[in-house]
Structure formats: structure tokens, C-alpha cells
């Protein structure tokens, strides 16, 4: 089973709201990722967690705050977002069996975020 789940599917929030996106996988993968995807563009990497530790932060604004409570869960906390942050937010995971993050990434269905 190569399933990554994400909740909620859709989220509408105002610029002063605080919300969280959630991602879960039960494949035993040890690397988890957050991507942002705008319409007709490829996914852009935001954060990478390896063994529950933040490995990569692609200079993402601090209004996005990732959290990895355990090896199966990944959260993205949102605060004071801007309308230009409206996008599809994708979570992915990979096995990381080789000791390096070269393994194939499996994506979740995404959360479609609209910031008003």
C-alpha cells in the first residue's frame, strides 16, 4: 500500500487565521516532504524531514511552520498567510532505505488552500 493521506482536502482561510495541514503515511517511510504547487507549475520543495528531523528548509517564509511529531505524521502550521500563498500543498514520503534521500517519493492527494 503506497498511500499518503492528507487532511483537509480543501481549506479557505483569512490572512489573520491560524490553521494546520496534516499528512500521514503508514508505509514505514522515514523521509517526509512538503511541496507547494501553483496551477500549471511543477511542485516546489518546501521542507524535508529525515528520521523526524528537519533536513531541508528551502528558505520558506516563517509563516509556514513544519512539525514532525512522529515517523508517520507531518504537519504544516499556517499563520498570517498572504493571498499569493494560495496553492495545492502536497505531502510526500520516501523509504530512505539506502541511507540517502534518493528513494522514490510517493505523493498524497494534496490540500487545496485558498487565502482570502
Partner 1 sequence: QKEVEQDPGPLSVPEGAIVSLNCTYSNSAFQYFMWYRQYSRKGPELLMYTYSSGNKEDGRFTAQVDKSSKYISLFIRDSQPSDSATYLCAMNRGSTLGRLYFGRGTQLTVWP
Residue numbers at the binding site for partner 1 (CB under 8 A): 2, 4, 6, 31, 33, 40-43, 45, 48, 50, 55-56, 88, 90, 94, 100-102, 104-110, 112
Alpha-carbon distance of 101 to 62, in angstroms, equals 25
Q: Which is nearer to partner 1, 33 or 64 (CB)?
A: 33
Closest separation between CB of residue 7 and partner 1, Å? 13
Per DSSP, what are the bridge partners of residue 48? Answer: 33, 56
Q: Which is nearer to partner 1, 83 or 100 (CB)?
A: 100
DSSP helix, strand, coil percent of the chain (3-state; round to 5): 5, 55, 40
Closest separation between CB of residue 18 and partner 1, Å? 24
Q: Which is nearer to partner 1, 16 or 53 (CB)?
A: 53
Closest separation between CB of residue 80 and partner 1, Å? 26
Radius of gyration of the CA atoms of the chain, in A? 13
Per residue in 17-35, is it b (16+ CB within 10 Å) or e — as a string?
A: eebebbbbbeeebbbbbbb
Q: Which is nearer to partner 1, 58 or 116 (CB)?
A: 58
Amino acid at each position: 500500500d503506497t498511500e499518503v493521506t492528507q487532511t483537509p482536502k480543501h481549506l479557505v482561510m483569512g490572512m489573520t487565521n491560524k490553521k494546520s495541514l496534516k499528512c500521514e503515511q503508514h508505509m514505514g517511510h522515514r523521509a517526509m516532504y512538503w511541496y507547494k504547487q501553483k496551477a500549471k507549475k511543477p511542485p516546489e520543495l518546501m521542507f524535508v524531514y529525515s528520521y523526524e528531523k528537519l533536513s531541508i528548509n528551502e528558505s520558506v517564509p516563517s509563516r509556514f511552520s513544519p512539525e514532525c511529531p512522529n515517523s508517520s505524521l507531518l504537519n504544516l502550521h499556517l499563520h498570517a498567510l498572504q493571498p499569493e500563498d494560495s496553492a495545492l500543498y502536497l505531502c510526500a514520503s520516501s523509504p530512505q532505505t539506502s541511507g540517502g534521500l534518493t528513494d522514490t517519493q510517493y505523493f498524497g492527494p494534496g490540500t487545496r488552500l485558498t487565502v482570502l
